[in-house]
Amino acid sequence: MTPSTTSSPAPVPDGSGPRPRDLAELLALLDPDARRLALSHPFWASDSLHSYERLEFLGDSVLGVIVTEALMQQHPDRLEGDLTWMRQAVVSRDACAVVADACGLPQAMVDSAPRARRADALRLADHRNVKAALAESVIGAGWLRAGEPATRSAVLGAFAEPLAHAHERIRDAKTKLQERLQAAGEARVRYEITGQQGSPHDATFHARVLRGDREIGAGSGRSKQAAERAAAEAALEAMGEEG
C-alpha cells in the first residue's frame, strides 16, 4: 500500500467481519504494507508521502466523527457547546497518546522501524505527539483497509474510558481558565452576554470573557452558560491550552 495507490478500499459490510476491541487488534487486521505505512515515522520514511502523515490526517477526522456520534448517543440531552467540550477531551493529543500506549503502538513502531533507525525510533516512541499520531494513523489505515464497522468497533473500545468520563470535563473550561489566571496572580475574569439570536425557545447566546477591560475570548451557545463556556474555551485556546 502506498499513499498514491488508486485501488479502492474494501470495507467490511455491516453485520459481518471482525470487530476489533482496540487499535492493536485493528492494526493486526491490516495487510503488511498498510501496517508498515501506518507505523512509518517521517524521520525514516523515504519521503513524507510514504510516512504515516496522510493516514494521521484521515484518522483525525474519522476519530472525530465516531466520537461525536457516540457522545450524541450517550448524552441526548446535552447541547452543542457541551458536546464540543466533551469531544475535545476525548480526542485530545493527551487522550490519543494514552490510547496508543495502552494498545502498544509505540513499541509496534519501534519493531517496524529499519534496523539502522531503531535507536531513533526508541527515542521518538516516548514523545506524546508521536504516540497521538500513531493512534490516528492506525485509525486512518483501518478505515481504508479494514472498513468502517471494524474501525468504529476498535475506536469505541480503545477510547471507552475517555468517552465514559467525558461529561466530567463540561465544567472545566471556566474553572481551568480561572485557575490558570489565579496561578499567574491575576484578578478574576468576568463574563458578559453580548447578544441573543432566535426565539426564546430556540435562542443562541453570545458571550465574551474579559480580563480587566480586555476581551480574551468569545463564544456562542444555546444557553448563557454554554456561551460562557465557549468563551472560556476560546480564551484557553488562545493561551495555548490543550484539551
Which residues participate in catalysis according to the annotation? 60, 136
Report d(CA 89, CA 95) in Å as an integer.
7
Task: Report yes or no: 236 and 180 within 8 Å, Cβ to Cβ.
Answer: yes
- Rounded to whole angstroms, what are the CA distances from 199 to 191, 192, 204? 23, 20, 9
Give me 104's grid cell.
Answer: 502498544
- Rounded to whole angstroms, what are the CA distances from 191 to 170, 188, 196, 225, 231? 17, 10, 15, 10, 8
* Residue in 186, 174, 163, 169 with CA at minimum distance from that of residue 227: 174
Amino acid occupying residue 45: A
At 204 the three-state DSSP class reads: strand
Backbone angles phi and psi of 47, in degrees to 5? -160, 175
